[in-house]
Amino acid sequence: MAEVKVGIINVTGYIGMEIARLVHLHPRVRLASVTGRSAAGKEIGEVSPHLADIGLSIKPELDRVDLAFVALPHGESAAAVVALLERGIKVVDVGADFRLKDAEEYKRWYKVDAAAEYLEEAVYGLTELNRERIAAARLVANPGCYPTGAILALAPAVSESLIEPDIIVDSKSGVSGAGRTLNLTTHYAEINENAAAYAVDGHRHLPEIVQELQGLAPGPALSVTFLPHLVPMTRGILTSCYAMLAGGKAAEGEKGREQVLKLYRDFYQGEAFVRVVAVPPQTKQTWGSNLCLIYPTVDLRTGRLMVISCLDNLVKGGAGQAVQNMNLMLGFPEETGLEGLAVYP
């Protein structure tokens, strides 16, 4: 079998480094080329000592590869992605530039123009929901970290019309989700022993959540309130979702809880990286792994569905999902290179 070469644009960010770590251990591909704007010309071990065994120099431009991961900020990845596609290279874009199908909606939330001619071609890379399309794609838009946890938590309920369309999504994220750029909000003295809500008037990941859930919803338009929080930990996202059960969709009392649990377990049966669990999960139970843990239940007093999901924002919420998508695009079993268990405690 011919060697499959992959590359990473912007290996010096948190997601880029995590992709490099996962791909270096992958048995079916070779990390052949990496770029980094300010670090060009340096050895990767100089910038990230934990990746020194990779033994690559960071270059200003990517060499010829079969597939590239683009880990640039929104507004910057589109040009790099288009250039790669024109060279015949498959792409997993870890940024936000191809996630939304509506160019005007993208501009409204991200304040830059979208590469509109490629939006329809790009496949939203949440593997559990778009497996066949991802396998046939040359451009995959990796999901955002918050949407990954929220969509996986709500997909069974929305697709089965189990809930009313008014949905609340409450998420708590570790600080690595903000990336490596220095700012006051993520300064140690600000985040340590502190927790804060942000983007109260609307987070950029909200339209992504709505877009993908609405595509599963056979009923009326969804009304989603999404409120993210920053909490003093490095990795992890815990998402709590709430919605009233639709009339007649579930039995009352414990039987209704059992029906909801069965619905979720049936929906995710056979999935390599989604676990429907019997007790509320914790972020530390997913640390370093590509797992998303989901706990669905019903508040018996109010008839409200409550779903809690946990994932590592840098793995299933980023780099691990990107590698999972790469596996499908290259014809490998999707769990290849991602079998590692969580690090605990």
Instruction: Parse the chain into domains and list their residue ranges.
Output: 4-121, 146-313
Give the class (CATH, top level) of 146-313: alpha beta
Preceding peptide of 280 cis, ω within 30°: no
Q: Look at residue 219 in the predicted model and tell me its pLDDT.
A: 80
**CA 103 vs CA 77, 108, 179: distances in Å:** 15, 9, 25
Contacts of residue 130, defined as CB under 8 A and 6 or more positions apart, other chains included, come to 123, 124
Specify whether the CB–CB gap between 318 and 21 falls below 8 A.
no
CATH architecture of 4-121: 3-Layer(aba) Sandwich (3.40)
Per-residue pLDDT reduced to its tens digit, 29-63: 999 999 998 899 999 999 999 999 999 999 999 99
Q: Among all residues, which ones are annotated catalytic?
A: 145
Q: Is 295 exposed, middle or buried (0-12, 13-18, 19+ CB in 10 A)?
A: buried
Asked whether this chain's domains 4-121 and 146-313 adopt the same fold, the reply is no
pLDDT per residue of the chain (345 residues) written in tens, 0 to 9:
568 999 999 999 999 999 999 999 999 999 999 999 889 999 999 999 999 999 999 999 999 999 999 999 999 999 999 999 999 999 999 999 999 999 999 999 999 999 999 999 999 999 999 999 999 999 999 999 999 999 999 999 999 999 999 999 999 999 999 998 888 889 999 999 999 999 999 999 999 999 999 999 888 899 999 999 999 999 999 999 999 999 988 989 999 999 999 999 999 999 999 999 999 999 999 999 999 999 999 999 999 999 999 999 999 999 999 999 999 999 999 999 999 999 999
Give the Cα separation of 99 and 14 in Å (integer). Answer: 20
**What is the bridge-based pairing of β-strands 304-311 and 292-299?**
antiparallel
Dihedral class, residue 328 (left if φ above 0, else alpha if ψ from -120 to 50, else beta): alpha
